[in-house]
């Protein structure tokens, strides 16, 4: 019996069955190095999904390991009841790259943590309760996070918190009524205004939005939508929460944060995933004024927030980003990736749209380009064929038909070329069977 077969048998015996696994024959991973991972049977793969955009500076990164090992020799855990050096030093370091004014942080262990904390802070600061989220968005797996999530498939059970409302996302590829992009963006802004007027008290605590909706299939919000939506939210008493869990730390290229491709200035910003190269950590960034609102509103602690080992990993990760894997580099390598994907579009009619920014590229697959009928079966087939070719990618979207391609930030030209070659083989295989 192969080791992978043995492990998957145990997985099915002892782990929850609703935990989704990629591939018809699930893939147990054993080790990683740089851009590559190996499964327990010794097969090698080029990783172009980075553990859901998390392994930001590559597998088994030397600087990150060094920082972790140094911290392991000193202190593994303390809780937030006691200040620890790594926690404080990382906060000061992070303040160097966050938008001006957003230099006060609360650390947690996941993106779910961060989004929940951001919503709570908005409610405490404004004195309002109601929250506007966007359709196709994703915020995590707690009850509130699943309510914020604008996709039914990711809501488990009867989860719905009554103060959350959802506005239309400017999913321009599927614009209602065939509207052009400018008209559809305006229609979405009108819908946001209407949702607030008809489904809330008229006073909201916050609007939360991702610059690129990750689980939503890399739907990329136009800058004019983000700017208009922020203006509307503030006109109704709300703060602007920007969810940078997937888009942060230079992944979208040019800037450290995805929202900086627009003129939006967030009041609160959340981050996780790529923050510590795989160690569990998240952060909420806000202004000192908003942070001060929590004082006297109720006591809070976090057992694992600001864990010294996780923060040490984050220090090493950010050091690597600043030294070698800058936003400018992500923009350049991302352009090579995007250009290559557009060339594949010219070859394969099953590709409906390529979208995204930097090292965050989505490829939506359709039955035909005229109808834009979603083709999740094609996405599954390309995933399987890519794996056989030695390439790991992700998928998502409301219809499960969008490939998510997001390699570690250390991806170089040769890795992009290798990935595109393997994708070409995978698309050719699937196109033949269509």
| pLDDT for res 18 | 86
- As a whole number, the mean pLDDT across the chain is 96
CATH class of 62-323: alpha beta
Give 271-288 pLDDT, tens digit per residue.
999 999 999 999 999 999
| pLDDT for res 183 | 97
Q: Tell me, what DSSP letter sits at residue 367?
A: S
Which residues face 365 on adjacent strands?
351
| pLDDT for res 434 | 78
Domain at 3-56+326-433: CATH architecture: Alpha-Beta Complex (3.90)
Give 301-327 pLDDT, tens digit per residue.
899 999 999 999 999 999 999 999 999
Give 408-431 pLDDT, tens digit per residue.
999 999 999 999 999 999 999 999
| pLDDT for res 156 | 86
Give the number of other CB atoms < 10 A from CB of residue 161: 13
pLDDT at 1 over 80: no
Sorting pLDDT into bands at 50, 70 and 90, what band is 433? confident
What average pLDDT does the segment 381-394 reach? 98
What average pLDDT does the segment 65-92 reach? 96
> What gap in Å lies between CA 167 and CA 165, rounded to an integer?
7
Which has more confidence, 7 or 63? Answer: 63
| pLDDT for res 406 | 98
> What gap in Å lies between CA 311 and CA 276, rounded to an integer?
7
Strand pairing class (391-392; 44-47): parallel
| pLDDT for res 4 | 87
Distances in Å between the Cα of 109 and the Cα atoms of 117, 270, 288, 310 are 11, 12, 22, 9
Give 41-52 pLDDT, tens digit per residue.
999 999 999 999
| pLDDT for res 299 | 85
| pLDDT for res 206 | 98
| pLDDT for res 90 | 98
- Structure tokens, 171: 């999913």
Closest CA to 276 of 248, 241, 243: 248
Please give the order of strands across the beta sheet that includes 402-405: 351-357, 360-365, 402-405, 394-396
Q: Hey, where are the domains in the chain?
A: 3-56+326-433, 62-323
> What gap in Å lies between CA 218 and CA 216, rounded to an integer?
6
pTM of the prediction? 0.97
Q: Tell me, what DSSP letter sits at residue 278?
A: T
| pLDDT for res 349 | 96
Closest CA to 48 of 430, 421, 309: 421
Beta strand spans in 256-393 (E): 268-271, 282-286, 351-357, 360-365, 391-392
pLDDT at 114 over 80: yes
């Amino acid at each position: 019996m192969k080791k992978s077969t043995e492990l998957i048998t145990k997985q099915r015996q002892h782990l929850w069955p609703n935990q989704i696994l990629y591939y018809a024959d699930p893939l147990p991973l054993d080790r990683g190095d740089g851009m590559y991972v190996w499964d327990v049977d010794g097969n090698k793969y080029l990783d172009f999904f980075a553990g859901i955009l998390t392994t930001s500076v590559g597998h088994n990164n030397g600087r990150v390991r060094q920082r972790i090992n140094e911290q392991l020799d000193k202190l593994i855990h303390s809780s937030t009841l006691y200040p620890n050096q790594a926690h404080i030093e990382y906060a000061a370091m992070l303040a160097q790259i966050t938008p001006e004014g957003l230099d006060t942080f609360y650390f947690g262990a996941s993106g779910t943590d961060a989004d929940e904390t951001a919503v709570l802070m908005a409610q405490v600061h404004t004195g309002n309760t109601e929250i506007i989220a966007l359709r196709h968005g994703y915020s995590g797996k707690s009850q509130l996070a699943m309510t914020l999530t604008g996709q039914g498939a990711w809501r488990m059970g009867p989860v719905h918190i009554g103060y959350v409302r959802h506005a239309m996302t400017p999913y321009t590829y599927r614009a209602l009524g065939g509207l052009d992009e400018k008209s559809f963006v305006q229609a979405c802004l009108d819908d946001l205004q209407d949702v607030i007027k008809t489904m809330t008290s008229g006073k909201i605590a916050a609007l939360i939005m991702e610059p690129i909706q990750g689980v939503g299939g890399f739907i990329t919000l136009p800058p004019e939508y983000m700017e208009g939506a922020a203006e509307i939210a503030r006109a109704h008493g709300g703060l602007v929460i920007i969810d940078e869990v997937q888009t942060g730390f230079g992944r979208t290229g040019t800037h450290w944060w995805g929202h900086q491709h627009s003129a939006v200035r967030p009041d609160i910003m959340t981050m996780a995933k790529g923050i510590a190269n795989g160690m569990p950590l998240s952060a909420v960034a806000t202004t000192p004024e908003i942070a001060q609102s929590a004082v006297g509103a109720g006591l809070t602690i976090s057992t694992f927030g600001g864990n010294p080992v996780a923060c040490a990993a984050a220090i090493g990760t950010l050091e690597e980003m600043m030294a070698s894997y800058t936003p400018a580099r992500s923009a350049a390598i991302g352009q090579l990736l995007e250009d290559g994907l557009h060339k594949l579009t010219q070859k394969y009619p099953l590709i409906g749209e390529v979208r995204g920014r930097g090292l965050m590229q989505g490829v939506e697959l359709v039955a035909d380009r005229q109808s834009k009928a979603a083709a999740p079966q094609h996405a599954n087939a390309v995933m399987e064929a890519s794996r056989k070719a030695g390439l790991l990618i992700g998928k998502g979207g409301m219809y499960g038909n969008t490939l998510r391609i997001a390699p570690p930030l250390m991806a170089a030209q040769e890795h992009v070329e290798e990935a595109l070659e393997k994708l070409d083989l995978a698309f050719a295989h699937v196109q033949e069977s269509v």
